[in-house]
């Protein structure tokens, strides 16, 4: 099982990923449930691609990364826009090294389609 990363560790890793990108895309989102008094976290990024065909090539590369890492993000897409979120469900929807590794790999893949 993966270990939950401390908030500052996550922010430091996101800074590293975003600093290597042409523009910062990845952020940490925290959702608080008042009914259960719990917090969940996810990493989130928004991408814009040239056209629909390029969008699907990028989506297929994300699918390959997710399959290889055995860690699957949530993906939302509309024409040339893609939103990717990731969290580790096994640890109560918190961020682990698996989420950071996935975000980093997705960001590297995006450079082929910018």
Q: Is residue 43 part of a domain?
A: yes
Domain that holds residue 90: 7-110
Q: What is the pLDDT of residue 26?
A: 98
Q: Is residue 2 part of a domain?
A: no
CB atoms within 10 A of CB 1: 7
Q: Is residue 1 part of a domain?
A: no
Structure tokens at 90: 């096994």
Q: What is the pLDDT of residue 32?
A: 81
CATH, residue 14: 3.30.1360.20
Roughly how many angstroms between the first and final C-alpha of the chain, as a whole number?
35
35-94 confidence digits (pLDDT tens): 666 789 999 999 999 999 999 999 999 999 999 999 999 999 999 999 999 999 999 999
Domain count, the chain: 1
Q: Is residue 17 part of a domain?
A: yes
Q: Is residue 25 part of a domain?
A: yes
Q: Is residue 96 part of a domain?
A: yes
Q: Is residue 56 part of a domain?
A: yes
**pTM of the predicted protein model:** 0.93
The C-alpha atoms of residue 81 and residue 61 are separated, in whole angstroms, by: 15
């Amino acid at each position: 099982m993966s270990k939950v990363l401390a908030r500052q560790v996550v922010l430091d890793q996101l800074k590293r990923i975003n600093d290597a990108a042409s523009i910062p895309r990845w952020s940490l989102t925290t959702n608080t449930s008042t009914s259960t008094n719990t917090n969940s976290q996810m990493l989130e990024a928004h991408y814009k691609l040239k056209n629909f065909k390029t969008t699907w090539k990028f989506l297929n590369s994300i699918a390959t990364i997710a399959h290889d890492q055995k860690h699957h993000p949530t993906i939302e897409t509309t024409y040339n826009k893609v939103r990717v979120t990731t969290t580790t469900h096994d640890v109560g929807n918190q961020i682990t090294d698996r989420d950071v590794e996935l975000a980093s790999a997705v960001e590297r893949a995006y450079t082929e389609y910018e």
